[in-house]
Structures are given as structure tokens and as C-alpha cells.
Structure 1
Amino acid sequence: MEFERKRYSHSHMNIAPLVDVVFLLLLFFMLTSSLVREPAVKIRLPESRTAATEHEAIKTVIITREGAIFFMDREVSLSGLQKAVIEGLNDRKEDSLRIKADRNTSVGLLMKVIDEVRLAGVRNFSVVTEKTP
């Protein structure tokens, strides 16, 4: 009695559609995600051992070493800062703001900026520092 041997066919899975779907998902998330970009103003932040990491996108006032003031990626004067902050935070429910001042900025200028921010109605603000190792 002769038995017939079973022939096993090796089945292969075609992964080309899977690769297409993965690339489409990657493209979708790259196009729909919004990246938070810091303005191209070069400043050296003061250092602190208790500095916290940033978790959310909060509008920022930047003071350079030369005393230039930037808010929402545009340079503003000290006298125009209050108006710019009021207009910039008008659409937001929360009134929080970050102040990034170069470590060589004078304390007097920093205090003037804080005064203008307070006059604009901002009660919750923080001065950003870098955490030291």
C-alpha cells in the first residue's frame, strides 16, 4: 500500500499593504501635529538647581543681552509691551506668561518688563531659568 506524501506549501504574507498603511499614518501625524518652535533669538538663561521642565506652550516674553524685548516672535518696545501682551493674551482664557531674560540682562530692565506684564493684567507669570546639573 502506497501512501501519498502531503505536500506542504509555504504560505507567505504580503506585507506591502502594511508598509503603505504605516507610511500613511506617519505622514498623517507629521502633517497634523503642531510643533512648538522657539523664536530664533539667542539668549543664555540664568541657571538654577530647582528649574522645572516646560510642559505646555505658554506665550513668552524674551529679553536679550542687548535689552531688546520680543513677544510672539516680534520685537516690541518697553512702552509697547503692555499693549502687545493684552492683544496676545486676549484670545486665551488663562493669563499665564513666561519671561526669558538673558543672564546678563540688568535686573532693572527685568523689573520694568515685569511691571508692564502686571499692568497688562497678567497675574501668573514665571521667570525661566536653566537647571544646573
Structure 2
Amino acid sequence: MRLKRSRAAPHSETIIALIDVVFFLLVFFMLIGRMDATAPFDVTPPQAQTGRDMPAGGVTLAISQEGKTALDGHEMGAADLSLALAAELSKDPEMRLRINAHRATDLRHVLPQVSQAEALGIRDVILVVTPERTPGDQP
């Protein structure tokens, strides 16, 4: 009597393991990769200087939370401010402009003042900030 051997079923190639590996690689590279756009050139941001005295000279522009402006303590509108800055710049071509804005002032009130200063030819604009307090600081 002849016994028939059962044929071994061909091993089906399981692709499930390969899909798992590809999925894990995808997740890994998504986690370690940078998602932000990088500039095509070197950009070094400015460094804040706290704990130092502000440079002397120049004028101070105060900007309220509502966008009102005052130059060296005298409240004035945009047209008067431009004339006053131009007059100060004619006296001192190396004049510094310190901008002291309220902490809740919208950026839309501050940026036009910086642009105006640049248009007038003011090269040094100093943004006055308050350093962050640490728990051990005295008020």
C-alpha cells in the first residue's frame, strides 16, 4: 500500500510584519524630524541684554495699551511725533530711540513706530523690557 504524503502548503509570504516595520520607521522619523521651515541662510537671533544699564542719550517713546504715544513725556499724535523725531534726529544723527510699550500693547501699535523710526534714519532702536522675575527675587 502506498501512502500519499500530504503536500506541504507553500508558505505564504506575510507582508504584515513588513508593514509594521515601515509604520514604526515612519513614526520614528516623524518624531525626530524637524517640522518647521528653515531659512536658506544663517539666521542668528539677537540676544536680550538684561541686568545692564540702558545706554544714555536719545529719546524715549512711550506707547500705551490703547496705542497712544508720548515722546519724552509729552503726549502727541502720529504727525507731531514724526516731526519731533525728525527734529531730534537733525540735532543728533546718532540718536537712539527707546520704545517703552505697555506689556499688553498690541504689536500693531509698536511695529509702525519702529518702521517710522527706520524711515527717518534712526539706526538704534531699543525696546525696553522688564526681566522675568525668579522666585527668589525681591519686589
TM-score (normalised: structure 2): 0.54
Post-superposition shift, 1:97?
1.1
Q: Which amino acid aligns with 1:75?
A: E
C-alpha distance in 2 between matches for 1:85 and 1:53: 23
What SS does the aligned partner of 1:116 have?
A: helix
Q: TM-score of the superposition, structure 1-length normalised?
A: 0.56
How far did 1:100 drift?
0.6
Query: Which of structures 1 and 2 has the larger relative contact order (alpha carbons within 8 angstroms, sep 6+)?
Result: 1
Q: Tell which structure's C-alpha radius of gyration is larger.
A: 2
- Mark the runs of 5 or more structure 2 residues left unpaired by the alignment: 1-47, 134-139
| SS of residue in 2 equivalent to 1:108 | helix
* Structure 1 CA distance for aligned equivalents of residues 74 and 59 of structure 2: 12
Task: Output the CA distance in 2 between the equivalents of 1:62 and 1:126.
Answer: 12
Taking the aligned partners of 1:58 and 1:132, their CA distance within structure 2 comes to: 26
Structure 1 residues 132 and 59, CA gap change in structure 2 (3 angstroms): same
Work out the percentage of aligned pairs sharing the same amino acid: 21
Give the partner amino acid of 1:124.
D
- TM-fit CA distance, 1:93: 4.1
Alignment partner, residue 123 of structure 1: 123
| 5+ long unaligned stretches in structure 1 | 1-48
Cα separation, 2, equivalents of 1:85 and 1:50: 25
Q: Deviations over 1:75-101 (max 9, x none)?
A: 121233221101123222413211111
**1:62-101 alignment runs, 5 A limit:** 62-101=62-101
Matches within 5 A, 1:25-104: 50-51=49-50, 52-104=52-104
Tell me which moved more, 69-78 or 53-62: 53-62
Q: Is the 8 A contact 2:100 2:127 kept in 1?
A: yes
